[in-house]
A and B are shown apart, each in its own frame.
Chain A
Amino acid sequence: MLPLAALFVAFFAAPLCVLVGVSLFAEPEMTTRSLGQYAKFFTDPFNVSILRDTLWLGVKATAVCLLFGYPLAWICARARSPWRSVLLFIVVLPVLTSVVVRTFAWIVILGRQGVLNAALLALGLADEPMRLLFTEVGVVMVLAQVQLPLMVLPLLTTLTRIDPNLADASAALGAGAWRTFGRVTLPLSVPGVVAGCILTYAACVTAFITQTLIGGARLIYMPLHIYQQAVGANNWPFAAAISVIFMGAVLGAVFVLNQANRFGGGRIYG
């Protein structure tokens, strides 16, 4: 435990303290201390709108992930032994390639001359190429795909742990498949849903690469905002202050999700 704690202090807690320290300087030259950077952030509606857009983007991408991830996890959990491994491998496969490569592949898929638009035009579903690249819809689609394993894996773990006898018991007592799902399987899988949502949400809102490559420079989210302030404008204190605020906001969201878990869990076991 001790080496782990030392590692945590040296490589996580200490840099975090430096970050907070830098954010408390009034100007880029870092001479006087003040809370000015935080005031600057919250008094400017532009900054606040970026924070709001980023947190909301995470909600949308996580919702899409859950929508596609839950059935996928359920199918995996129900599959028989050789198939389960195959499905699991397919789910994990995207994680084995770099997120940069995956995101660039999506540029090829979503572009004007891309696979998706070519298919839509060929099928006569659209008259002109749809704008997907550099739109929020595109970012949500790609984030959902890129982060899907983070949703599926915790869900799969939870679903496979649910005793199959419970579903049989429910059926024996006269409940249909949907009723069994709604009253037994779904409530029991709440911890998996919450764990998956926390992981996916945190990954989606901080996904610098996917957000910037698919969103372009016109859609600004917090990670790009931080990068531009730190490297482009050389304003480290402001970049540090935005980072601290962003971290606080994401932690807040995770806390809320955790509360949902308690609430959901309490209802079943209590």
Chain B
Amino acid sequence: MNAQVTRRAFLAGSVALGAVGACARTSGAQAKTLVVATFPGTWSEAHRELLAPYFRKRTGAAVIQSIVLAQDQIAKLVAAGGARPPFDVAMLDDPQALDAVKQHLVVEYPVAKSPSFKELLSQFQDPWGPKISMQVIGIGYNPKKITTPPKSWDELWQPKYKGRVGLTALNSQLGIAFLAELNRLRGGNETNFEPAFKALRELLPNVGAIGANLGAYATLWQQEQIDIAPYNFNFVQTLKAKGVPVELAMPDTGPVGWRTSLHLVKGAAEPDLAVQYIDSHLAADLQAQMLKEPYDVIPTNGKVPLTGPITQAVAKTHADLARIRSFDWEKLNPQRGALIDRFNREIKL
């Protein structure tokens, strides 16, 4: 919903960008333009500030961003229905990447045309679309109110946090990942989510707010409406950079996360440029730039050494990155609708 809210703002933004792009196309010489999808917030900023200039230097082509969440990208590609797609490069998280491949919305990535592909750590070399980063979730907390960093997810259930715990709805990746991890820890599996829902029902007295979307969720932290909640490494870094009192602690059960990938869209208008763009994102020198603050984008290229805040919160070595637990989205995806529905029914005041 942030989705909706931000989508409006972003729509306006993308129209503006589009207008700028159109002017560039008419006034400039033969410079080509590539339309790419990116996520709202820091992702679009990092892509605009670092990736687009890098790509421009390499190919001479300009980039127009279409700032859309992963699920909305799928919806847009489905709506285009095989006609000319609205963008050439899709940016998706693990679950949506599976959907996109299954629904034939993206084509196989031409690995041979992409020199940086083989430099990726093995778990990031996906032939349907190379992984460009990881998103990792942990326990977000307000260091002004909670002086000892939490060590376990179980701390969310402690009575002292009555009314101070936050959650997000399941339409966000963060929400569904937290639910799946909770379910695993409480003894459930992909076919039985009862343990997770039982735990959430028990958590309700502590829950102060459930953000309908990630934008609203960020506001909850900013307004100090919540003190402790599942959160995502990159969002924490973004808020910290804005002076919001928030830190991320890794639970003793280990970090969990999902991977983010770029894909060549089926029927793309500029397939060669699209591959160049994706390859630019895989390049070691670009990923090293994106790893720096304020973006802190977790690298996937084996030649990029891990430095900065990521080594304190998420992973010290490439081997640590490989150990970050993922989920079986193949099994989770078909249940998403039912889980959202169940969450809406059971997790109410």
Q: 1/0 per residue B195-209: CB within 8 Å of A?
A: 000000000000011
A191 at the interface (CB under 8 A from B): no
Question: When the two chains form the complex, which single residue of B9, B99, B213, B225 contacts A112, counting CB atoms closer than 8 Å?
Answer: B225
Q: 1/0 per residue B117-160: CB within 8 Å of A?
A: 00000000000000000000000000000000000000000000
Residues in B whose Cβ lies below 8 Å from that of A217:
167-169, 210-212, 344
Q: How many A-B residue pairs have CB under 8 A?
A: 91
Residues in A whose Cβ lies below 8 Å from that of B4:
208-209, 212, 227
Q: Complex Cα distance A231/B74, Å?
A: 9
Known A-B contacts A111-B225, A233-B337; the reply to A216 vs B75 at CB < 8 A is no
Residues in B whose Cβ lies below 8 Å from that of A104:
219
Q: Is the CB of A228 within 8 A of B223?
A: no
B336 at the interface (CB under 8 A from A): yes
Residue of A nearest to B75 (CB): A231
Q: Complex Cα distance A209/B345, Å?
A: 21
Q: Is the CB of A213 within 8 A of B340?
A: no
Q: Is the CB of A218 within 8 A of B210?
A: yes
Known A-B contacts A100-B9, A209-B4, A212-B4; the reply to A233 vs B212 at CB < 8 A is no
Q: Complex Cα distance A218/B348, Å?
A: 5
Q: Complex Cα distance A216/B212, Å?
A: 5
Q: Complex Cα distance A212/B168, Å?
A: 12
Q: Complex Cα distance A114/B340, Å?
A: 30
Residues in A whose Cβ lies below 8 Å from that of B99:
234
Q: Is the CB of B225 within 8 A of A113?
A: yes
Residue of A nearest to B338 (CB): A233
* Most interface-central of B99, B170, B209 (chain A CB within 10 A): B209
Q: Is the CB of A111 within 8 A of B212?
A: no
B347 at the interface (CB under 8 A from A): yes
Q: Is the CB of A231 within 8 A of B72?
A: yes
Q: Is the CB of A234 within 8 A of B223?
A: no
B275 at the interface (CB under 8 A from A): no
Residues in B whose Cβ lies below 8 Å from that of A234:
71, 74-75, 99, 336-337
Known A-B contacts A232-B340, A233-B340; the reply to A213 vs B225 at CB < 8 A is no
* Most interface-central of B9, B74, B99, B349 (chain A CB within 10 A): B349
Q: Complex Cα distance A233/B223, Å?
A: 30
Residue of B nearest to A112 (CB): B225
Known A-B contacts A212-B213, A216-B210, A218-B349; the reply to A232 vs B225 at CB < 8 A is no
Question: When the two chains form the complex, which single residue of B75, B216, B345, B348 contacts A230, counting CB atoms closer than 8 Å?
Answer: B75
Q: Complex Cα distance A134/B217, Å?
A: 12
Question: When the two chains form the complex, which single residue of B216, B337, B344 contacts A220, counting CB atoms closer than 8 Å?
Answer: B344
Q: How many residues of B contact A (CB 8 A)?
A: 36
Q: How many residues of A contact B (CB 8 A)?
A: 31
Q: How far is the CB of A139 from chain B (nearest CB, A)?
A: 12
Q: Complex Cα distance A247/B67, Å?
A: 30
Residues in A whose Cβ lies below 8 Å from that of B213:
212
Q: Is the CB of A100 within 8 A of B74?
A: no
Known A-B contacts A231-B3, A231-B171, A235-B337; the reply to A113 vs B209 at CB < 8 A is no
A79-116 contacts to B, CB under 8 A, are 100, 104, 107-108, 111-114
Q: Is the CB of B71 within 8 A of A231?
A: yes
Known A-B contacts A213-B216, A217-B210, A218-B349; the reply to A228 vs B225 at CB < 8 A is no
Residue of A nearest to B1 (CB): A212
A133 at the interface (CB under 8 A from B): yes
B20 at the interface (CB under 8 A from A): no
Residue of B nearest to A220 (CB): B344
Residue of A nearest to B164 (CB): A112
Residues in B whose Cβ lies below 8 Å from that of A231:
3, 71-72, 75, 171
Q: 1/0 per residue A195-218: CB within 8 Å of B?
A: 000000000000011001101111
Residues in A whose Cβ lies below 8 Å from that of B31:
none
Q: 1/0 per residue B205-238: CB within 8 Å of A?
A: 0001111110010010001110000000000000
Q: Complex Cα distance A107/B221, Å?
A: 12
Known A-B contacts A216-B209, A217-B210, A228-B171; the reply to A233 vs B341 at CB < 8 A is yes
Residues in A whose Cβ lies below 8 Å from that of B3:
227, 231
Apart from the given pairs A108-B223, A208-B1, A231-B75, 8 other A-B contacts in the complex at a CB distance below 8 Å:
A107-B219, A112-B224, A216-B209, A217-B168, A231-B171, A232-B171, A234-B71, A234-B336
Which 6 residue pairs across A and B have the least CB separation, nearest first? Answer: A233-B337, A217-B169, A232-B171, A212-B212, A111-B223, A217-B210
> Could you jot down 26 A-B contacts, CB within 8 Å?
A46-B345, A100-B9, A104-B219, A112-B223, A113-B223, A113-B225, A212-B5, A212-B212, A213-B5, A213-B212, A213-B216, A216-B209, A216-B211, A216-B216, A217-B167, A218-B348, A227-B1, A227-B4, A227-B171, A228-B169, A228-B340, A228-B344, A231-B3, A232-B337, A232-B340, A233-B337
